Structure formats: structure tokens, C-alpha cells
Amino acid sequence: MRPIYFIEKSTLLDYPGKIASIIFNWGCNFRCPFCHNPELVVESPSSMLINKDGVISFLKKRLGKIDAVVFTGGEPFVNPETIDFVKEVKDLGFLVKMDTNGSFPDKLQYLIDNRLVDYIAMDIKNDLTTYLRTIGLEKQHEESVKQLGDIDIHNDNSVKQSPLSLLERVKESISIIMATSEANYLIDYEFRTTFVPGLHSIDSAKGIGELIRGAKIFYVQNFRPGKTLDPLYLKKNGFTDSDLKSFADTISKYVDEVVIR
């Protein structure tokens, strides 16, 4: 199995209402320039890498001390063995939260169908027309804008008709997650966007709102300068509180609850 990057032993922030450990998975299929975990994206991981057996051994010692395990990244599903890893964690009796960019809807559906996940957090990177540029895929963006046209993001047929395979997968993941309210067991979820000056605007907020129309909850997150994948973003300032409120107010027209954090 591909190595895991590292573990955060306990957190009260990443799984609402629960004490959790976080497993940071190395590798990502996106190249968001503002990514604050660039060490999980680059091709040469550091010496901090540990293997699955080490993680399982650690978690066994945490039984009774933590409630849940959060799989994050990078993108956890980049690792082809993540699902088997999740099964082992569930077998230990922990709740599982999956942080994902939504590009692996089939794997997400498998976890749901097999009752292997209890909480899903999906990053919505931007509105459809600027999605690929936001995740650092410039060439795909240039071609996709020409092909995008007027895709009905709420029409199931558009998933099959659109040539934009990555956007199709993102949309499918959104649909899968929102359908969990009808699942046979309770699955909690959230959508969230990190708003970055130069990449996001009020128009972005409207497009994001349309994309997740009817969702239960959405989190507005502000970009914070510091460690980023693209050095040009190291000193870029975040949005003002007023800007964030405007984004939240715009998206609140489409979803049940919007929280700024």
C-alpha cells in the first residue's frame, strides 16, 4: 500500500462534536495553487511517511480515547487502497469522516452503500465555468470553457451529455452526497469552499449556490496566506469580513444554512 503521510493524534475541530484522529494521505489529482498542504501534493514526499500497519497499530491504542477517524489529504481516494483501509478502521469501531474533492464518485458511492462512512466533507472549488482553472488545470480549462455552453447542472442527463469528465464527476459526487438524506443509515455531510482573491467573486458564489442548491449546510472559508503550492499565493491577502458575508448571503439563497469559518 502507498504510505500515509502522517497522523494528527486528536482534534476537536475536524469532526463536529467528536474527538478524532486525522490521517493525512499523500497524493492529489488536483493542483490548486492556493493549497495549504503542498507537501501532500508534490511528487517527493518527506521522511514523515508511515505505512498503514503503523496507523492501525496507533489507532488500536486510541480505542476509547477518540470517537472517529478523518481521512483527508491531498485526496484520499487517489490511493487505490483507501477503501480497504477504511474497512479496517470501521472494523475497529470508529466513526469515519471522508474529506474529498469529489472526483471519485464511484468510490464515494461504494462507501455509502456499504455503510463505511459516517460524515462526508466535499470541497466545492468554484463555479463550473472556472472550476478547472481554480484547481490548476489550465489546459483543460481553456478547452472546457469552449465546450461548456449552457449545461443544466440539475439535469441528470447533463452528466452523460457533457464532455467535461472531471466536472461530471464533481457534479455526480454532489448528487450522491445530497442523496444521503434518503440513505438507510444516517450520514452527515457538508460542502465548503475556500474563497481566494483573484479566483472567486460574487458571481462565483452564485454559481456555487446553483451547484449545491438544496444542500443542508455550506461553509465559507477564507484564504489565508502562508504555505501554498504556488509561491505567488504565499503573500496574497484573504477577503475582508464584509466580502465573506456577501458570499455567505448570496449562497444562503440556495442552501439551508451557511456558516463562515
Q: Domain locations in the chain?
A: 4-138+173-260
Mean predicted confidence (pLDDT) in 84-106 = 97
Q: What is the model's pLDDT at position 1?
A: 58
Residue 145 CA: distances (Å) to CA of 64, 115, 150: 51, 37, 11
Pairing type for strands 119-123 and 95-100 reads parallel
Q: Which of 15, 24, 120, 125 has the alpha carbon at shortest distance from 78?
A: 24
Pairing type for strands 217-222 and 257-260 reads parallel
Q: What is the model's pLDDT at position 34?
A: 95
Q: Which CATH number fits domain 4-138+173-260: 3.40.1190.20, 3.30.565.10, 3.20.20.70, 3.40.830.10?
A: 3.20.20.70
36-50, 116-130, 151-165: least confidently modelled range:
151-165
Q: Which residue has the higher pLDDT, 124 or 43?
A: 124
26-35, 40-49, 224-233: least confidently modelled range:
40-49
Share of the chain above pLDDT 70, in %: 85
Query: Given a cut of 70, is residue 40 above it in pLDDT?
Result: yes
Q: Which residue has the higher pLDDT, 152 or 179?
A: 179
| 8 A C-beta contact, residue 177 and residue 192 | no
Q: What is the model's pLDDT at position 193?
A: 98
Mapping DSSP onto H, E and C, the string for the chain reads CCCEEEEEEEECCCCCCCCEEEEEECCCCCCCCCCCCHHHCCCCCCCCCECHHHHHHHHHHCECCECEEEEECCCHHHCCCHHHHHHHHHHCCCEEEEEECCCCHHHHHHHHHCCCCCEEEEECCCCHHHHHHHCCCHHHHHHHHHHHCCCCCCCHHHHHHCCCHHHHHHHHHHHHHHHHHHCCCCCEEEEEEEECECCECHHHHHHHHHHCCCCCEEEEEECCCCCCCCHHHCCCCCCCHHHHHHHHHHHCCCCCEEEEC
Q: How confident is the model at residue 42 (pLDDT cuts 50, 70, 90)?
A: confident
Phi-psi region of 244 (alpha: psi -120 to 50; beta: other; left: phi over 0): alpha
Mean pLDDT (the chain) is 88
Chain centre to alpha carbon of residue 189: 11
Grid cell digits, residue 117: 462512512
Mean predicted confidence (pLDDT) in 135-140 = 78
Query: Given a cut of 60, is residue 153 above it in pLDDT?
Result: no
Query: Distance between CA 50 and CA 6 in Å, rounded?
Result: 6
Query: Given a cut of 90, is residue 71 above it in pLDDT?
Result: yes
Query: Distance between CA 233 and CA 226 in Å, rounded?
Result: 8
Q: What is the model's pLDDT at position 148?
A: 46
| 8 A C-beta contact, residue 107 and residue 77 | yes
Q: What is the model's pLDDT at position 157?
A: 39
Mean predicted confidence (pLDDT) in 65-80 = 94
Query: Given a cut of 70, is residue 161 above it in pLDDT?
Result: no
| Peptide bond connecting 64 to the previous residue in cis, omega within 30 degrees of 0 | no
pTM: 0.88
Query: Given a cut of 80, is residue 61 above it in pLDDT?
Result: yes
Q: What is the model's pLDDT at position 45?
A: 63
Mean predicted confidence (pLDDT) in 82-94 = 96
Q: What is the model's pLDDT at position 150?
A: 42
Query: Distance between CA 7 and CA 191 in Å, rounded?
Result: 23
Query: Given a cut of 90, is residue 108 above it in pLDDT?
Result: yes
